[in-house]
Structure 1
Amino acid sequence: MQSWFSMTCGRGRAGLSCAMISPAQTPIASGIKSVDGPNVCTVGQEQPIMPTEIENQKHVEEELRDREQELAQLIDMVPSHLWRLTPDGEPTFFNKRMVDFLGLDVPDTDKPGKRRLETVIEAVHPDDAAEFRDTLIRCLVTGERFTMRYRLRRADGVYRWMSSRAEPMRDHDGRIVQWYGLCHDIDDQMHAEEALRRSERQLQEMIDAVPVRIWSVTSMDAPVYFNKRYQDHFRSVIPNFEALGEPRIETLLQELIYPEDAPEVQRTLMNCFEAGRGAVMRFRWREKDSSYRWAECRVEPRRDQDGAIVQWYGVSLDIDDEMRAQEALRERERELSLLVDMVPSNLWRLTPDGETTLVNKRMANFLGMDLEDKRQLAVVFDTIFHPDDAEEVGDVLGQCLITGERFSMKYRLRRADGVYRWMSGRAEPLRDQDGRIVQWFGLCHDIDDQVHAEEALRHASDQLARATQAASLAELSASIAHEVNQPLAAIVANSHACHRWLSAEPPNVERAKITAERITRDANSAADVVSRIRALFRQAPHARSSEDINRVISEACRLMADGIAAKDIRVETKLEPELPSVALDPVQMQQVLVNLIRNGIEAMDAVIDGARVLQICSLRDGLDAIRIEVRDAGSGFEDAARVFEPFFTTKQHGMGMGLAICRSIIESHGGRLWMANNETRGATVAFTLPLEASEAP
């Protein structure tokens, strides 16, 4: 039975409404005629509605209202925005979810001069509004399905992404009577997709930035995917790389891999794909400059939940530097091994427990061992020490193994021919990062010749000590002879003079007496010299007095006046005035000055021009010393390193004791004496005396 009612959804923005179509509006009502009684209708006759029909109509209306209420609840419960448009695009219905989302009231959309469609467009994001309007108008004109993603403003002002779809409903003639649309909130999905795209971009950027070459393939014959670093490498090496399209593995093997390595790489990959397990390959590949560099490729399968291989991944690393470093390391190890065998010492290695694990070739030859037989190590090392040293070596080494202290000891080892030789053994522990001993390295150096040489040296030292004592006596004698020679010569000269004065006619007694006094003075001077030289070599204490060094220099110059005049030497003194007094022995200091002046005069014997000048200077040397310099214009010292050695002389009749005695005297006063050749010619001998010298020797 055809229904008397048709439901038209005209709820608008406030809800659904149902419009009843009256019987006068239906073609069925106008054609009903009553036939044979009140309950019989005949077509073409108008019959009154009977009570039964009224009850049926009420029942139908009640069912329709129930269905309408159920439909309204269903539409409001749909988790999407539902809407309806007229054929010209005017909204006629929004479900409650959409009304609540937009925060609109129905009366607001019915204001004069404002279309409902404009109200909706105003809620679209400004960046999407123009496209939304254009797309909707085109669909209204063409009748095409409307589908679009755009941002819609929520009641709180927040824009959220929507996925909207709308389709037209047509009548029997194909005319559009209204549009039904659905608008689904996809904001979380859009953000998730954006986050996914951002993650993919970051992952791709990371893959491209990783300093390795990454590839993937589904099978041996399938195209290969390469990351950007790989592709950049291909473009730099293969001129027509772009023309290859989607390259296969075989093509790339022919283009890139070193010819000798390519077959092995291909076999490894085929075995890998057939067996379904990963592999590691090392090969050489071509660079832009046609050189080859070593690379390592690791291949692993990716499986699905069922364990089936869906894809293969590979990572290629440039290991050329590593390979070269390993080769250099192996070469270095060979060199080191050769060097260890060439070291003129016995090298060995122990475990932390003291077990011998290695000896070098020299030690193996010394002990008569076979390096290949590791079992000999423990056996041989138990029998190689001298019986008198074995127990002590075991105790000391055992203590070092316990404490970790350095091992150092001298002992005797038995050579392969049975001869024991002295060794100097040392060992130090090698520790890990935590300080634990991982092994001991030791060195055993043959010192047998040294031990015997030391024994011979001790014997020679004893002999030398006795010879040194004799030499010391000779040195003392020579020193006395050197220093006493001048006063004795003066005594002889004065004796001859006294004899001449007494032999004169008449005898000149007065002059003879004066000469005799000089003889007495020179004899006493010789005695003082002998006494002080003996005290100097015996390091005995002697009295010192505070003296003016300039006065001592002047006195020495007066004593040497005759010798200076005889040699036609000009003496220039440059004495700093008001120098502080110095504690010294005036006789010994006079000996030093006279000796240095005499040496300077004799050094200028070969000088024939007018530059025969001897300069004597005194000056302060810092705050606590006085320095005296004697500078000549002679030929200088030829062997300056030996001038202070006893008995070394360059003079024809010299004894070689003068400068040695002078240094001894100066050092006994707490000073220092040295010499240096001048820049032009001649030499300078200088010494210092401390201002606060004690009277101790």
Structure 2
Amino acid sequence: MIVSRSVKALRKRERALAELVDRVPSHIWRLTADGEPIFFNEQMIDYLGRDIADLRLPGMSRLDAMIEMAIHPDDAAGFRGALHHCFATGESFSTRYRLRRYDGVYRWMSSRADSIHDRHGRISQWYGLCHDIDDQVHAEEALQRSERHLQRLIDALPVHICSWTPAGELSYVSRRYMQELGLSKANFEEFARAAQELVHPEDSPEVQRRAAHCIRAGEPFTMRYRRRGPNGMFHWTEGRFEPLRDRNGAIVEWYGLSIDVEDQVRVQEALSLAQQNFARASQAASLAELSASIAHEISQPLAAVISSSDVSLRWLSAEPPNIERAQKAVERISASAHSAVEVVGRIRALFKRSEASRDYAALDSVVREARDLMAEEAMRRRVRMDIELERDLPPIAFDRVQVQQVLINLIRNGLEAMDSAGDDRVLHIRARRATDTVQIEISDRGPGVEFPDRIFEPFFTTKGQGMGMGLAISRSIVESHGGRLSVEQADPHGAKFVFTLPVEVEQAAHA
């Protein structure tokens, strides 16, 4: 009775196991030691077709016949060779291949088989498992096609592309970049050395400093510098690096590219030079026109003064002197002199600043606009402009165009002053609230001002091509606004120009 229950339980477990084997969503098969098929589960039979179990081909073993009929012709030889190698050596079997479904459709499969040994160590059977990986294979192929397309696109782009890990290890260099550097494969040390050697010696320290700072701070990097090309000539290049962050904000990769901007820089330099020449020509033409106008306006009363003076001398030299006529001549001299004064007064009135064009506004937007207008020239001169604006600056009454003219003139002077400086080229612009004024400071790190007492005099200049009117006009504009413009020594070196604009009491009370 006990034996009968044990047999029933054993048979029940066997049926459950057989059902499990048939229901597993994979193909399970078993071979004899010499490769004769002896079992396929229901999933495999349903896939291949019910007649596969009884398949026979003349002159072939049952296994070879199944391979011939079910395995894709391009994969059959490799499959058969791998399987027979395992039979001969006892090694595990593992391969990918295309298997023909009962309806003639081939799908990719992944198979693995291992041997079972008897108590004498001999192989008694082979147990195998294969599962459908067709969707996975097609996804991999699509991904590979996409990667190849992307790689061809990157190789065709006229830019140099590379990437780095957060630890600073090179992870990718585009083919075009490696060819220019003369490298056959991506190697961090060789790449860093070769890339550094190509940068112009004058630009290399600043490039390294800013790149190191950006990596430490996790900030994007953008800079123009000169790099030696394949022809040995230095070309202007713009380098850009951006960090890729995960959802937590941690940097997972650095992506960078460099673009040849030589033509763009040359065009900008030519345009800037043309604008400067045009500005100087316009200034000279305006000065000549103004001088001719002044000479024309004042020549007539001065000529009358000279003529009346000659007449007066003749009447006074007569024998006897004609005092009455001489007195009338002197009266004409006085009238002509007053006329000359009126002419000068009208000319001065042309240069008086009209308060009608002044509006109440905060100064920070004008400072930013002036900085932006000079950004291109600063980049060309390799100068970094730092701006520091105090929050909640009070509104003041000023002519926007005139104050912007002052700012641009002072910024341009600071940029030009650092042409002969080394790598420490920084222009600092600061705006802050003083007692009853808003104070703007523009400091450079150039050689400083040699003649601070004369620098604001009209027609005094230390520039070879200067007219000596820029600072004089700037001071005139600031003073017409009720402010003051001065210069002092910057720390640690250079010049600091400071000008103030008054905050009116009524407006300050509402600020």
TM-score after normalising by structure 1: 0.40
| Paired amino acid for 1:283 | Y
- Does structure 1 conserve the Cα–Cα contact (< 8 Å) formed by 2:67 and 2:76? yes
Are 1:275 and 2:217 matched, yes or no? yes
Instruction: Name the residue aligned to 2:121.
Output: 174
Per-residue CA deviations over 1:20-48 (Å, capped at 9, x if unaligned) read: xxxxxxxxxxxxxxxxxxxxxxxxxxxxx
1:205 matched to 2:152? yes
Residue 64 of structure 2: aligned partner: 118
Looking at structure 2, the residues matched to 149 and 174 of structure 1 have their Cα atoms a distance apart, in angstroms, of 29
Rg comparison, structure with higher value? 1
Q: In structure 2, what residue type is equivalent to 1:251?
A: R
Q: CA deviation at 1:289?
A: 2.2
Q: Confirm or deny: 8 A CA contact 1:102 1:155 kept in the other structure.
A: yes
Partner of 1:63: 9
* Worse-superposed segment, 202-211 or 250-259: 250-259
Residues 200 and 227 of structure 2 are in contact (CA less than 8 Å); yes or no, is this contact kept in structure 1?
yes
SS in 2 for 1:264: helix
Structure 1 residue matching 2:149: 3-state secondary structure: helix
1:304 alignment counterpart: 246
Q: Distance in 2 between matches of 1:107 and 1:216?
A: 56
Q: Matched residues in 2 for 1:101 and 1:56: separation?
A: 42
- CA 1:370–1:297 in structure 2 vs 1: closer, same or farther (change >3 Å)? farther
The reply to whether residue 228 of structure 1 matches residue 175 of structure 2 is: yes
Distance 1:288 1:133, change over 3 A: same
Q: Which residue of 2 aligns with 1:293?
A: 235
- 1:3-32 alpha-carbon deviations (Å, 9 max, x no partner): xxxxxxxxxxxxxxxxxxxxxxxxxxxxxx
C-alpha offsets along residues 53-97 of structure 1, whole Å, 9 cap, x if unaligned? xx2232122212221221122112211100000000001000111
C-alpha contact 1:81 1:97 (8 A) present in aligned 2: yes
SS class of match (2:74):
helix
Shift in Å, 1:203: 1.0
- Give the C-alpha shift of residue 374 in structure 1: 6.2
Please state whether the residue corresponding to 1:100 is helix, strand or coil.
Answer: helix
Paired residues of 2:237 and 2:259 also in contact (CA < 8 A):
yes
Supply the distance in 1 between the matched residues of 2:52 and 2:231 (Cα, whole angstroms). 77
Contact 1:171/1:177 (CA < 8 Å) preserved in 2?
yes
Aligned match of 1:193 = 140
Q: Aligned in 2, Cα 1:158/1:366: closer, same or farther, shift over 3 Å? A: farther
> What's the CA shift for 1:218?
2.0
Equivalent residue of 1:105, what SS? helix
Sort the Cα spacing of 1:246 and 1:65 in 2 relative to 1 into closer, same or farther, 3 A: same
Check whether the contact 2:170–2:187 (CA below 8 A) recurs between aligned residues: no
Size of the alignment, in residue pairs?
A: 302
Match of 2:113, SS state, is: strand
State how far apart, in whole Å, the 1-side matches of 2:60 and 2:189 are.
63
* Residue in structure 1 matching 2:270, options 322, 328, 349: 328
User: Sequence identity of aligned pairs in percent?
Assistant: 49
Between the aligned partners of 2:145 and 2:284, the Cα distance in structure 1 is 64
User: How many Å separate the matches in 2 of 1:346 and 1:160?
Assistant: 89
In structure 2, how many angstroms separate the alpha carbons of the residues matched to 1:366 and 1:204?
72
Instruction: State the secondary structure of the residue aligned to 2:108.
Output: strand
Change (3 A) 1:280 1:220: farther
Q: Which runs of 5+ in 2 are unaligned?
A: 291-344, 359-511
**Cα displacement (A) at 1:221:** 5.3
Deviations 1:104-152 (CA, angstroms, capped at 9, x unpaired): 3266337897643133202101111111111111101111000011111
Residue 256 of structure 2 aligns to a residue whose secondary structure is strand
Give the AA of the match of 1:153. Answer: R
Task: State the match for 2:318 in structure 1.
Answer: none
Q: Which residue of 2 aligns with 1:151?
A: 98
The equivalent of 1:92 in structure 2 is: 38
SS of structure 2 residue aligned to 1:133: helix
- Provide the rounded CA distance (Å) in 2 between the counterparts of 1:226 and 1:126: 40
1 CA distance for matches of 2:346 and 2:29? 105
Q: Would the aligned equivalents of 2:225 and 2:238 in 1 still touch at CA under 8 Å?
A: yes
Matched AA of 1:96 = E
Q: CA RMSD in A?
A: 2.9
* Contact 1:222/1:248, CA 8 A, preserved across alignment: no
SS in 1 for 2:44: helix
Task: Supply the distance in 1 between the matched residues of 2:136 and 2:121 (Cα, whole angstroms).
Answer: 37
Tell me, in whole angstroms, the C-alpha distance in 1 between the residues paired with 2:65 and 2:353: 97
2:83 paired with 1:141: no
Structure 1 residues 133, 263: closer, same or farther in 2, change over 3 A?
A: same
| Residue matched to 1:132 | 79
| CA distance in 1: counterparts of 2:250 and 2:186, whole angstroms | 30
Q: CA deviation at 1:339?
A: 4.0
Partner of 1:257: 199
- What is aligned with 1:284? 226
* CA 1:194–1:346: 2 relative to 1, 3 Å: farther
TM-aligned CA deviation for residue 182 of structure 1: 0.3
Give the TM-score taking structure 2 as reference length.
Answer: 0.54
Q: Deviations over 1:142-173 (max 9, x none)?
A: 11000011111111111111110000011122
Q: In the TM superposition, what whole-angstrom CA distance separates every residue of 1:613-643 from its partner, at most 9, and x where no partner exists?
A: xxxxxxxxxxxxxxxxxxxxxxxxxxxxxxx
* Matched residue, 2:375: none
Contact 1:265–1:281 (8 Å) recurs in 2: yes
Look up the match of 1:460: none
